Amino acid sequence: MENVRELFQIMTRRFGFLNKNCCSAGGCDISLIQSHILYEIDRQHKPSIQQVAEALGTDITTFSRQVQSLIKMKLVKKTPDPDDRRVNLLSLTTEGKYVAASIDQQMNDYLNEIFSHMNDFEKDTVIRSIKLLNEAMAKSGQCCSTPSRG
Amino acid sequence: MENVRELFQIMTRRFGFLNKNCCSAGGCDISLIQSHILYEIDRQHKPSIQQVAEALGTDITTFSRQVQSLIKMKLVKKTPDPDDRRVNLLSLTTEGKYVAASIDQQMNDYLNEIFSHMNDFEKDTVIRSIKLLNEAMAKSGQCCSTPSRG
DNA sequence: TCAAATTACTTGCAATATGCAAGTAATATA
DNA sequence: TATATTACTTGCATATTGCAAGTAATTTGA
């Protein structure tokens, strides 16, 4: 069998470039990390700081400060959880949603460009494969989750 | 069609965790970035500093310093190119090769674990898909290469 | 019922990483 | 052979990181 890791490594590196390129979409210029944060806040429903930090595998003190700068940029807002006032729920501002949507648009444009080099069958196979892969990674929890800290 | 970007985002994030987890394989504890550098130096044949920096999309002054610390750790060595003495060729030391091999081993173990949740047909399909994807990304050069700087 | 433990998050600080500007040395160009 | 270009390195100012140690709110347990 060929070198599977090689295939994965190259693919994820390229996808990383894609993500990086998309950070300057829609007139906004944010960092790759900030783009990931916006994405994850958008994806979850009113997540807490801890939840997002966990999802992204970031140290919580670092993440606390990343959130602060996104708030300063008026892309994210923090709302105290009425049920537990220790918790702050994160959500995107209107501007934050706009930026996230611009990035998403750019990403999907790029992905369509990539898929334009395949026929419909290949495209379908690839998408199903990624789904399979995600399911398999979810099943083998110990290796594909956030790196152990402490 | 479902959200393709979502699938990719989750997959690459999980693969990133995998990579991070593998950095402490074989008794060595290096950063994710250092792991990527070792991988890329190993992959290319005696690459120059510029070539690796380009491949990884890193600023060359930053990369110059990253190489310096890997040399201090005795994982990488720099050899002047006899044909062009401006150029320094990078290669792994014996210890560097050992560390790179340990990480590779750990990565492949994890990947096998992931594939153990699939049957042979699915596994085959997934691997062929990633290959297809890499080829397609290579074709659409403008979006999947190192982000423009300057 | 209330002191002690836990949880969610924030700040101080010291160490590290970043990238631009400006360097050096070697090679290519005109 | 002077001038540009290339490959790489350093100075410096800024940004990012994570541990230790905080605060405030909630849970636990005697």
Q: Comparing A31-40, A133-142, B48-57, which segment has the lowest mean pLDDT?
A: A133-142
Query: Do the beta carbons of residue A91 and residue A101 sit within 8 Å?
Result: no
What residue of A is the nearest CA neighbor of B108?
A: A5
Tell me if A148 is assigned to some domain. Answer: no
In chain A, residues 90-109 whose CB comes closer than 8 Å to chain B: 104, 107-108
Shortest CA gap A72–chain B (Å): 26
CATH assignment at residue A96:
1.10.10.10
C1’ D30 / CA A53, Å: 36
Tokens of B2: 């479902």
**Any domain includes B51:** yes
Q: Does B10 touch chain A (CB under 8 A)?
A: yes
Residue B126 forms part of a structural domain:
yes
pLDDT on residue B150: 31
Q: What is the mean pLDDT of chain A?
A: 92
Q: Which amino acid, one-letter code, is at A127?
A: I
Cα–Cα nearest to B15, from A39, A95, A82, A145:
A145
In a domain, B64, yes or no: yes
Instruction: Say whether pLDDT at A65 is over 90.
Output: yes
Let me know if residue B149 belongs to a domain: no
Which residues span the domain enclosing A132?
Answer: 22-140
What amino acid is encoded at B41 in this protein? I
Share of chain A above pLDDT 90, in %: 84
Is residue B148 a part of any domain in this protein?
no
DSSP per residue, B67-82: HHHHHHTTSEEEEE-T
What is the pLDDT at residue A53?
Answer: 97
- Average pLDDT value for residue range A70-76: 96
A124-134 per-position pLDDT tens digit: 999 999 999 99
Who wins on pLDDT, A29 or B129? B129
Q: What is the DSSP letter of B48?
A: B
Q: Count the neighbouring beta carbons within 10 Å of the beta carbon of residue B49.
A: 17
Q: How far apart are CA B31 and CA A137, in angstroms?
A: 23
| Shortest CA to C1' contact from A65: nucleotide | C10
Query: Does residue A12 fall inside a structural domain?
Result: no
The number of distinct structural domains making up chain B is: 1
